[in-house]
Structures are given as structure tokens and as C-alpha cells.
Amino acid sequence: MDISELQGVTLKIYLYTVKKRFVGPRDVMRGVHLSSPSVAYRHLQKLENMDLLVKDDLGNYVVKKKVAVRGYFWIGRFLVPNPLVYAFVFLVILAIEIVVLAIHFSVEDQEFKIFFLLLTSITAAALVLFVFEGWRMLRKTRIYPSEENNG
């Protein structure tokens, strides 16, 4: 299966369908802020041809399978950018470092304190970078009204 076409508006419609479980063209038009139902229908057909959606007896499109999207992973019906997972790991590490620093602060020498503060600042910088990159990737998969004419 070629999922290279799963990007942009088609990806957003796929994600919207995964979240809603089943959709019709008008529902997609409103939910993804497209200009007309025919634009939504074209993308739904594209997803059906990619074997990701199937049309039920009532004319609704239902998710046939969830596929891996590069740089993201699924948590239930939500697509989460990998950097947000890395950010969570660095948040836990930062919390542990702060606890260790607080416990040892009064008994350690100045050299230890400086080293540990440097270590903590590097971990905090990595956390900030991963949060920023994850947020940037998350914006690509979100649906915004300003994109309604990009069908």
C-alpha cells in the first residue's frame, strides 16, 4: 500500500475520520473546514482507494485500518508526535535531577552544585526543544479554520 499521498488535507481528513469513527462528506467538510462537500468526497474516495477507509451501507466512511504515520505514533484514536514522548522522558529526568539536587544541595561542595546545575540546564534545554518540535508537528495535524480553502 502506498501511503505517500497521506499528507496535507488528506491526512487531516484521515485523522478526523479516525477520531469520529465514521463520517460523511458534509461532516468532513464542516469538521475539517473545507470549501464544499465535493472536496471532502474527493479526499474520502482517495482514502478509500488507499484501502484506509471503507464505505458502509449508509454511505458513511469508516476507518478500515490505522496506518503508521512517520514521526508520529497512535495513542488510542490520537496521533502523537514522537518529540512529545521524548519531551515527557526529559521531563521525568529533569524532575529526578531536581530532587537529587535538592537532597544533596546542603551537603555537597560548590563543584558538585555547579556540575549538577549545568546538567539540569542541559536537560531543561532538551525538554524545551522537544516540546517546541512536538508542538510544531502537532499543529500540522490539527484542523484550523484558516485552511478551509486549501482543499
Please state which of the ranges 70-74, 109-113, 138-142 shows the lowest mean pLDDT: 138-142
Per residue in 25-51, pLDDT (tens digit) is 999 999 998 989 899 999 999 999 999
pLDDT of residue 125: 98
Q: Report the sign of the C-alpha dihedral through residues 94, 97, 103, 108, in that order.
A: negative
Residue 120 grid cell: 539540569
Q: How many residues are recorded in the chain?
A: 151
pLDDT tops 90 at residue 107 = no
Per residue in 59-71, pLDDT (tens digit) is 899 999 888 888 8
Look over the chain and give the mean of its residue pLDDT values, rounded to a whole number: 87
Question: For 110, phi and psi rounded to 5 degrees?
Answer: -65, -40
